[in-house]
Chain A
Amino acid sequence: MFKLLKEIFRTGEATVKYPFAPLPVEKDMRGKPEHEAERCIACAACTIACPANAIGMTTDVQAATRTWSIDYGRCVFCGRCEEVCPTDAIRLSTEFELAVARREDLTRRAVFRLARCEVCDTPFAVAKEVAYVQDLIEATAPGAEDAAQRRRLVATCPSCKRLHDVDQLEKLGVGRRIEETRR
């Protein structure tokens, strides 16, 4: 009897104090993905990486906005979004207390403005993303003139770029040259 009591005293209490005290967790535990909308460029890398389609994006051309959203109810906490994020805007925190009574409370949204094409004035990409890419190009371009040209290219929508390409090819006379070589 005394031996048993001694053993119990030696072992102490194994049960954690949670929920009366915070539960100690690992620093790198995969908990709730925290999205910092201020650092997000809405590049949609996470929406493609997300295996459960918990992260998604919808574009509203009329309002010129793109809405990023995450559904914590569908998230499988794999960390792929954190792995692919180019600006470290999304990171898995150690937060695990996610239970809710309303399904809608598991959703987070972030609304981003779309930039308008320099040529045709239609919204085509998120303004923050365009600005970020322009900054990157400025940092890596060999010369100032080159940088300016690349900046303009980034701020143009894909269909205008295509039209521009056709224009350039016409000016260079590529089609004529091909015909000549055929003959």
Chain B
Amino acid sequence: MSRLPSDTQFAPAAGIGKIDTPVDVQRMKSSLLKDIRRSAYVYRVDCGGCNGCEIEIFAAITPLFDAERFGIKVVASPRHADILLFTGAVTRSMRMPAFRAYEAAPDPKIVVSYGACGVSGGIFHDLYCVWGGTDQIVPVDVYIPGCPPSPGATIYGFAVALGLLGQKLKEETHVEGDNERVVIAHPTVPYDLRVLIEREARRMAGYRQGGDLAETFLTALETPDGQGLDGRLDRILRSTDDPRAREILEALGGVVRIAAERARP
């Protein structure tokens, strides 16, 4: 316990702001990962989260996802733990308990930072009482982002922590190429009409499905087929079986008809 700051001391002074992993523990940890022949026990440390992550951890050990079939078991004491799961942004009040849980777990231990708040402070990163992510106080081995991470993401994160699966993400930087240019979408449809169509579709179905429906509608409207406007709108309506989508496409057709009426001299 010698590395711990005293309970009354809240400001992170130099040298004790974060606990480091000694070299011998690092060696033990790599051998643990290589020779683990038993269940990995997980202790969950809530550093001040909203409980969303806890609900998803619980969902990951239910029979549907069943993390326990891999031997991942949630235990009630850090003294039994191989994996420490830190959820929530590190708050001022929960910093000392988090330190204590870390110290209580036997070496070698794997530290997993869980959820957007655990990884970086998440949406609470600039609050007055928030220290930041878990990596501000203890050395972290695996980061599982998500708000909250779904049970699938949780199982994947555990698999990465235990070295069963490799990570997919890599740091990337895209540099703008020469002659890179963004063209206007649907240039043959008048701009004002396109805005009207997109607005109506989003009003009726939200930005995601509405945007997709507006996109299919505009693409179909642009495709030349030798028919008049009415024939083309009929063809668009016949292209879907979903009555909800058809209602929206019908409304979009109405928008086009009104605009065509206005444009007529």
Contact A132 B172, beta carbon cutoff 8 Å: no
A101-B167 CB under 8 A given contacts A14-B63, A73-B116, A73-B143: yes
Given contacts A78-B147, A132-B184, 18 further A-B contacts (CB under 8 A): A15-B66, A15-B69, A19-B165, A38-B180, A96-B150, A96-B152, A97-B168, A98-B168, A98-B169, A99-B153, A100-B142, A104-B171, A106-B143, A106-B169, A106-B171, A110-B174, A131-B181, A139-B184
- Smallest Cβ-Cβ distance to A109: which chain B residue: B173
Stretch with Cβ within 8 A of A (4 or more), from B1-9, B118-126, B255-263:
B118-126
**A residues in contact with B49, CB < 8 Å:** none
Binding site for A on B (CB under 8 A): 63-66, 69, 116, 119-123, 125-126, 133, 135, 140-147, 149-150, 152-153, 155-157, 159-161, 164-165, 167-176, 180-185, 187, 191-192, 207-209, 211
Whether A18 touches B143, Cβ cut-off 8 Å, given contacts A28-B209, A111-B174, A139-B184, is no
In the assembly, what is the distance between CA of A61 and CA of B116, in Å?
Answer: 32
Q: Chain B nearest CB: distance from A123 CB in Å?
A: 14
User: Interface residues of A: mostly helix, strand, loop or mixed?
Assistant: loop
Residue A40 interfacial (CB < 8 Å): yes
Return chain B residues, CB-CB under 8 Å to A104. Answer: 171
Q: Which residues of A contact B208 (CB under 8 A)?
A: 28, 79, 82
Contact status of A52 and B174, CB under 8 A, knowing A100-B143, A100-B160: no
B159 lies within 8 A of A76 (CB): no
Residues of A within 8 A of B211 (CB): 88
Pairwise interchain contact B176-A37, C-beta atoms closer than 8 A: yes
Most chain B CB neighbours (cut-off 10 Å) among A14, A28, A76, A88: A76
Q: Are B122 and A76 in contact (CB under 8 A)?
A: yes
Which residues of the other chain, A, contact B116 by a CB distance below 8 angstroms?
A: 52, 73-76
**Complex interface residues of chain A between 104 and 130 (CB less than 8 A to chain B):** 104-113, 128
On whether the beta carbons of A100 and B169 are closer than 8 Å, the reply is yes
Q: A109-B172, A131-B181 are in contact. Are A52 and B125 (CB under 8 A)?
A: yes
Shortest distance between the CB of B131 and any CB in chain A (Å):
15
Whether A52 contacts B122 by the Cβ 8 Å rule is yes
* Smallest Cβ-Cβ distance to A25: which chain B residue: B152
Residue A58 interfacial (CB < 8 Å): no
Which of chain B's residues has its CB closest to A76's CB?
Answer: B147
Checking A16, A39, A136 against B65 with a beta-carbon cut-off of 8 angstroms, the contacting residue is A16
**In the complex, A25 Cα to B66 Cα: how many Å?**
17
Asked if A159 lies at the interface with its beta carbon under 8 angstroms from chain B, I say no
Q: Which residues of A contact B135 (CB under 8 A)?
A: 103
Q: How far is the CB of A66 from chain B (nearest CB, A)?
A: 10
